[in-house]
Amino acid sequence: MSTQTPHAPRAFVEDPDAPEYTVYGADWSEVVEEAKRLGQQRIVVNMGPQHPSTHGVLRVMLEIEGETVTETRAGIGYLHTGIEKNMEYRTWTQGVTFCTRMDYVASMTQELAYCLGIEKLLGITDDIPERASVLRVLMAELTRIGSHLVAVGTGGNELGATTIMTTAFVAREETFRVIEAITGLRTNNNYIRPGGVSQGLPEDGVAQIRAMIPKVKAKLDELMALQGANPILKLRLQNVAELNLSACMALGITGPMLRATGLPYDLRKSEPYCGYETYDFQVPTSTDQDAWARVMLRMEECYESLKIVAQCADRLEQLGDGPVMVADKKIAWPAQLTLGADGQGNSLDHIRHIMGESMEALIHHFKLVTEGFEVPAGQVYQAIEGPKGLLGVHLVSDGGTKPWRAHFRDPGFNNLQALGIMCEGGQVADVVVAIASIDMVLGGVDR
């Protein structure tokens, strides 16, 4: 170390009497150690709030010494939309339109948890048609694949591997083609409704599902080759953003982050719903508990989800045409939706019936759509295995046509609490790796 020379730029310091250093090829760790010995003022840096590399509008406050992170705090709330409060002023069915927009990367899993909770309050869980349950599983697994591909793809892009993102998004597009063909929308689908789903398959629905599976699998294989054989990516992710089992249990962390510590906890196996106990699939785990393990686990889960999708296609073919909504007309959505050239809407047959053939049918349609159905007073908690972990919903009814309270346990909220443990002691550049490996979406965290 030496004092300033005429050829070196003067470092900015608040105190003109404080020591300053010009470094010529010396070991940077020596400079940091000397700064520690002299009690230099700490440096606090804001990462965000902005969208790139933070999976939503997230603010991360970093206290650093050189390139080493000594303290990390996450600031949330910038994407708060008041969805849960808004649901108190809408009918139970209209609530689907709100909750599907929380974690907008995993829309239909939120619809599923919410509707399963309503059906528990109504006491109609066992009355849901089998075809509707299979379609729900199909959508949940296609959503899981899409969510994981976004996590892996954007994580790769944030580290400079743009090819990983483009390959992942091509695969995701294939899932969107099937989702759009069935629901009419790519995301924010409003497809899963209390009592079943809004509509069944198009005529070539099963064929479209089967044609999609090998295309997605081929892209998954390509992604595995791109990542698994990439020594730079391995060095960048292995032994980075580590989180052990005890920390996960203390913070309520679930999903791939928990399974990367070796615990095979998956609600589809431990507390099955929608008939998941009848499907053949595995729960991948790892004991490496680092960012690399989380990426690989999400990839393996995509393969398992494809297995479930293939089984759904077989079951839908065996079941043939059938009801996709509960038989109770006081609960079942009265519309008969179809996909037309201009998108999703009521079928012409249904419009002809309510507008020209039956005044009673028109009155029923009007009252159920505008007023909704009454749900018996009580409360319920329903949890499912979302792509990011345990997604729970607590619903309270006062006996009316609107929720008295609707509160969601978004897995990303709990998972984000581990950011400090994952980052402290690491490098500033590894904060981006940690955030990407958590895979939270701030729309779900803030709600």
Q: What band does 22 get if pLDDT is binned at 50, 70 and 90?
A: low
Please give the Cα distance from 273 to 391 (Å, whole number). 13
Give, for 154, the enclosing helix (H) or strand (E).
Answer: helix 130-158
Please give the Cα distance from 336 to 327 (Å, whole number). 14
CATH class of 85-331+373-446: mainly alpha
Residue 10 has pLDDT above 60, yes or no: no
Give the tens place of pLDDT for each residue, 276-325: 999 999 999 999 999 999 999 999 999 999 999 999 999 999 998 888 99
Using alpha carbons, select from 57, 136, 119 the residue that is nearest to residue 316: 136
Give the tens place of pLDDT for each residue, 146-181: 999 999 998 888 888 889 999 999 999 999 999 999
Q: Give mean pLDDT, residues 380-405.
A: 95
Domain ranges of the chain: 1-41, 85-331+373-446
pLDDT at 21: 52
The percent of residues in the chain predicted with pLDDT above 70, rounded, is: 87
- Predicted TM-score (pTM) of the model is 0.86
More confident residue, 22 or 229: 229
SS3 content of the chain, % helix, strand, coil (to 5): 50, 15, 40
